[in-house]
Amino acid sequence: MIRIQDLNKISDYEWEIPKSYRQDMRVAVRLFVTRRLLEAALQDLSIEQAINAATLPGVVEPVVVMPDMHQGYGFPIGGVAATRYPNGVISPGAIGYDINCGVRLLASTIPLEAAEERLDDLANALNHYCPSGVGSEGSIHLTTAELDAVCRQGARWALKKGMASEEDLRRTEENGCLEGADPAKVSQRAKQRGMAQLGTLGAGNHFIEVDVVDQIFDGEAAAAMGLQEGMLALMIHCGSRGFGHQICTDYVQDLQSAVRRYGIQLPDRELVCAPLDSPEGQNYLAAMRSAANYAFCNRQILAYHARRAFEEVFAGSGLRWQLHQVYDIAHNMGKVETHEVNGRKLKVCVHRKGATRAFGPGHPELPDAYKPIGQPVLVPGSMGTASWVLIGTEDSMARSWGSTCHGAGRVLSRNKAKKDFRGERLRNELEQSGIHVRAGSMSGLAEEAPMAYKDVDEVVETVSGAGIARKVARLRPVIVIKG
C-alpha cells in the first residue's frame, strides 16, 4: 500500500505519485488534496485505483484525482483519466454506473424573506411533481420508439414536447445532446428499465434542493449567471437512472472478452476496457452516449416539473416566480476532447468519474454568456450543508484535463451510515435548523447524513487554492427533496 512518503509534494494543494513508483505505471498520478484530505484518502483504495488507471493502454499523463475522491468500482470517484483517441482504451468503470449523473442549477429573483411562509407548500409541490425513491416511476411511459428518440435527441426531445426552451439547451453541456448515440447498442433489459423512469429523481445521493444564494465571491461571474445574494435557486442532482446502470452492467460483462481478445493486461479486472477504435469500444461509446442523452432529458423534465411547482405556489403572489437556467453539467462521462499536451493539440477520451468538466474562459464549447468568464461548475454539498458555484480556469485546462471536483465525497459507506445514523432524528435536526425535508424513506435519509461526507467547503477551498476552479457563489439549502 502506498504511503505519504511515496508522494512528491508540489504545493499545499497538490501532490504527485511519479510513474517510477510502480513498474507497470505508464504515467504519473496527480492529486489535488491537502495533507489532511490525503491522509483520509489513504484509508481506502482510491489512490491505489488511480495508480491502476495509470497502467491503462494509451493513457496520457497525468491521471488526476480530486479532493472529494473515494473508492469506487475499478476507478476512484473523483478521478480523471485521458486516453489517446482512437488508439487508447475506454473503460466503463472509469466513467461509472450512473452515466451522466450531473447537476442542473436554476436561479430566481424571489427573495428568501418574501418566500419563507410558502416554503412548506413549495416542498410539498416539488415532492408531488418530481417522483423519487428506488425504482420510482413517473407520469411518462415511453414506447421503444420514443425511448430510442430520447437516446438520440437528449434534452431536445423535451423541447419538442414543450418541456424545455432553447435557452435551457444553450445552457446545458453539449446543448443537452451527445452526438454518436445509438440505441441499437443498448440491451432490451436496459430499455425496459428506462421506459418508465424518465422525469424521476431516484434515490441514493440524488436530490432536488431549493437554496438561497448565501454569499457572492465573484460579482461579474454571478451577474452573468443571474445569481443574486438572498434570492432562491433550485438545484437538481440525478442521472440516467436504471437505464444507465444497466448499460454499464452489460458492458462491464461484455468487455471481459475484449480484454482477452486484445491481450490487455490489467492490475484489476474492474478496470475492464476495450480499444476505442475496436467494435467493442465503439459499441460501448454509442450506448454510453445514449444513457448520457437520457440523463440530460431526465434533468430537463425534472426542471420543467420544478417550474410547475414554483408556478403553483408563487403565481398570484406578486413575485416573479420564473426560474432561468444557469447551467447543466455532467460529472460521470467519457468525452472525446482536444487538449494541449506538451505544446501540441491532442485528441483524447477524457474519463470523468465524480469529476466535473471545468473549461476555462474562451473555450469554443461554452455558450456566449460564459465565454468571458469560464464554464459554471456546480458542486453540491452533503445534505443540509452548503453547495457551491465555481467557474473553470485556464489552469484547469492545463493541469487537470479541464476538470475539477464534483461534490463533498463520501467518508462512510452507505451501510455504515445506516448503522450509525437514524433518519427520523436526522430529519428532525434538519427541520429544526430551518430546512424543509421530504424523503422517500428514513433509511435513505440516514445513508446521506452530512457526517457521512467530507466537508464540501474544504474540498472547494482545495480546488480553489490549487487554481483549477474559482469561487463564484455559496448556496445554503432551505428545502431538500430526497428519494
Mean pLDDT computed over 205-210: 94
- Residue 92 domain-assigned? yes
Domain count along the chain: 1
- Residue 447 domain-assigned? no
Q: What is the pTM of this model?
A: 0.96
Mean pLDDT computed over 172-177: 99
Mean pLDDT computed over 107-116: 97
Is 380 annotated as contributing to ligand binding? yes
Regarding predicted confidence, which is higher, 391 or 428?
391
Quick one: pLDDT at residue 132? 75
Quick one: pLDDT at residue 421? 82
CA distance 476 to 50: 33
- Residue 440 domain-assigned? no
Quick one: pLDDT at residue 294? 99
CATH number, domain containing residue 36: 3.90.1860.10
Quick one: pLDDT at residue 133? 63
- Residue 445 domain-assigned? no
Q: What is the pLDDT of residues 305-330, one digit of tens each?
A: 999 999 999 998 889 889 999 999 99
Output phi, psi for 140, to 5 deg: -95, 120
Handedness of CA 407, 413, 418, 420 (dihedral sign): negative
Q: What is the pLDDT of residues 368-397, one digit of tens each?
A: 999 999 999 999 998 889 999 999 999 999
Annotated catalytic sites, by residue? Answer: 406
Following DSSP, what letter does each residue of 170-206 receive, concatenated? HTBGGGG--TT--GGGS-HHHHHHHTTTTT---STT-
CA distance 223 to 226: 5
Regarding predicted confidence, which is higher, 410 or 170?
170
Q: What is the pLDDT of residues 327-373, one digit of tens each?
A: 999 999 999 999 999 999 999 999 999 999 999 999 999 999 999 99
- Residue 25 domain-assigned? yes
* Cβ 310 vs Cβ 321: under 8 Å: yes
> Domain range for residue 253?
4-411+453-478
Is 374 annotated as contributing to ligand binding? no
Least confident of 5-14, 360-369, 438-447: 438-447
Is 334 annotated as contributing to ligand binding? no
Burial 215-242 (b: 16+ CB within 10 A, else e): ebebeebbebbbbbeebbbbbbbbbbbb
Q: What is the pLDDT of residues 245-254, one digit of tens each?
A: 999 999 999 9
Burial 333-356 (b: 16+ CB within 10 A, else e): bbbbbebeeeeeeeebbbbbbbbb
- Residue 99 domain-assigned? yes
Is 351 annotated as contributing to ligand binding? no
- Residue 426 domain-assigned? no
With a cut of 90, say whether residue 415 has pLDDT above it. Answer: no
Is 32 annotated as contributing to ligand binding? no
